[in-house]
Structure 1
Amino acid sequence: MPLSTVTSKRVKCKAPRTFFKRTFKQKKPNLRLETNSDLLIHLNCLLFIHRLAEESRANACESKSRVIKKDHVLAAAKVILKKSRG
């Protein structure tokens, strides 16, 4: 597939900034955030989901399964959350 067709089919979606801002205001009304902190939180969520998908796929391949099941995702979540604690 030529590169030009790949770049033209990319989905250009924006981060749900209003959702994050509204959620923060509801949960922590006294919290003062910097202007672009909601974008950093969105990026962090996307990176977490990406790592979760990769780890789940690895768990599925280890168990010789073609389909990622709930058990694979839960096991991957435990590993990723343990790594992120530090």
Structure 2
Amino acid sequence: MKSSIIVSDPEILGGTPVFRGTRVPIRALFDYLQFSTIDEFLVGYPHISREMVNEVLAVIAKRVSAVPHRKRRETTA
């Protein structure tokens, strides 16, 4: 699943996933959410919009709720 909001580029923070167009790691959002709120994250990172946060959360939600693909068992005849 490709995301338009989450970017991982070896030239940006060594490939750490960041918000597109920034050097703000996605991990920073989840660090804030552990002890704080989205509003406080937005105050700390004013160049990140609420829409960007919502898009990241939607992408992550899709990834964690996706049904894993099962490998087919090969049968020998």
Normalising to structure 1: TM-score of the pair? 0.32
Report which of the two has the higher share of strand: 2
Question: Which structure is larger by alpha-carbon Rg, 1 or 2?
Answer: 1
Report which of the two has the higher share of helix: 1
